[in-house]
Amino acid sequence: MEIKVSQAAELIGGKIFGDPDVVFTGLADIKNAAPTDLTFIYNPAYQKYLETTKASSIIVNPSIKKTRTDLTYIEVEDSAKGFYKILIKYFNPTITLNGIDESAFIHPTANIGQNTSIGKNVVIEENCIIGNNTTIFHNTVILRDCKIGNSVLIYPNVTIRENSEIGDNVIIHSGTVIGADGFGYSPDKNGVYTKIPQIGKVIIENDVELGANVTIDKAALGATIIQSGTKIDNLVQVGHNVEIGKHTAISAQSGISGSTIVGNHVVMGGQVGLADHLEIADGVLLGAQSGVGKSIKKPGKYFGSPALDLSTTLRLMTHYKYLPEYADKISRLEKKLKSLEEKLAKLDEDN
């Protein structure tokens, strides 16, 4: 595909400096771009690569100096968002699965929507409802009584357990399991565990994306809920009866224990752990590897284990490296104090 700089600039509302008829056929980062690529700079720290890039055209913020006259520039307020808009418009990967493969098992009571594609060895059990324009790739298993909306994209080897509900425009990546049993057991006096049946379900609302190998447990009673627009990275565990709000982003290897409620527009870094039965307020940002054992009721930035507000954690971290010195200093002070106390005691005796 050949795209003129003038087309790209019109799409993103950019101002052209240079030749508007320059053509690009691909997108690349500034260090690895070829002469046929469009690239971008979103941070002044990458200005140094401007002199060596082989790209023919580049998207920049107004703060970036246009030092090369052989390049064509597209200037916009947010170069990264402009670049992504072009990526989505012209270079979005296409899905090639079409029709229903003859190896798929679809129960006679299942209702399959129009223009829905189903791959090899897919299993769809009784009373499932699958919407229009949905794509279900190979080896996916959807158990009974599930409802899946329109324009859903399910990659290979996904398991969706019984009674799960999935909205429109949801993307589910390979290896994800939706509706596994929640971790519910009752120990007796001897420490022997009895399994508690998990009879709830999972509800995933519209425009959610789940990464590879995500596990979302069904509720013991009621529903585990992922609200609209939330994005969950690979290898995330969501426990039973958890509720996650709208437009929240959760990074890889994070875990949310049962019955915890996470608000809207929350951001969780990698390997964050949340204990059970907590409440996390709207607009909370949790730094990577934070361990949260208590509810967070106010929006803001939190970090550490236990997670504290960011400013407190940074102050503590500043002192951590000096702890050996502090210990030595305290030891010396204690010795001096003891010596002074002995001298004062002796003076008292003499008097």
Active-site annotation, residues: 240
Instruction: Report CA-CA distances (Å) from 226 to 34, 266, 328.
Output: 42, 13, 51
What are 116's two structure tokens?
A: 């829905």
Distance CA(122)–CA(104), nearest Å, equals 5
**Where on the phi/psi map is residue 149: left (φ > 0), alpha (ψ -120 to 50), or beta?**
beta
CB 250 within 8 A of CB 233: yes
From 245, 150, 172, 238, select the one nearest 202 (Cα to Cα): 238
Instruction: Report CA-CA distances (Å) from 120 to 112, 136, 147.
Output: 16, 9, 20
What are 182's two structure tokens?
A: 């929640």
CB 14 within 8 A of CB 8: yes
Q: 């519910």: which residue's tokens?
A: 184
Pairing mode, strands 23-24 and 3-4: antiparallel
Distance CA(99)–CA(107), nearest Å, equals 17
Distance from first CA to last CA of the chain, Å, rounded?
A: 101
Class of residue 148 by CB neighbours under 10 A (exposed 0-12, middle 13-18, buried 19+): buried
